[in-house]
Amino acid sequence: MMELFLVIKLRRRIAACLEGNLTPVHAADLFWELRPYMASHEIELTDRGIILPALSSGSSPEIICSDDVLALSSDRRGVLTLLLRNGDACLLSGQSPARKRIHLCHQTFIRLACTEIGLRLWMLRESLLGW
């Protein structure tokens, strides 16, 4: 039931974002929510956002500006989901340093894909148990 509530909340936030009515998450709120994840994910805080370390030796660090984070949610398993302005979701595990960045859909097609987003979020949350 809680996951259905999160999907409905996500749909409303995406629609508000496209209409220009959604403001980004305040940087202080973002940093507060990231506290339990900072040590395991080696997150660096900057005045403009956060820096996540590279996943492999050949890749570069991932930079997320605080202005790009439109919504935050965490579930009872400790997974923090950051909904980004470009239609991506960044998932941080609370039990390991594993993370995923999922492209939910292109920004211009978000309204058409709300049901797909709901299904993908449900599948992502279920797949996190297999980490």
Tens of pLDDT along 47-101? Answer: 889 999 988 778 889 999 998 888 888 888 888 988 887 778 888 988 888 888 8
* More reliable by pLDDT, 37 or 117: 37
Determine the structural domain holding residue 73 and report its residue range. Answer: 2-130
User: Contact at 8 Å (CB) between 52 and 38?
Assistant: no
CB neighbours (10 Å) of residue 13? 16
Rounded to whole angstroms, how far apart are CA atoms 109 and 100? 22
Residue 20 has pLDDT above 80, yes or no: no
Domain count, the chain: 1
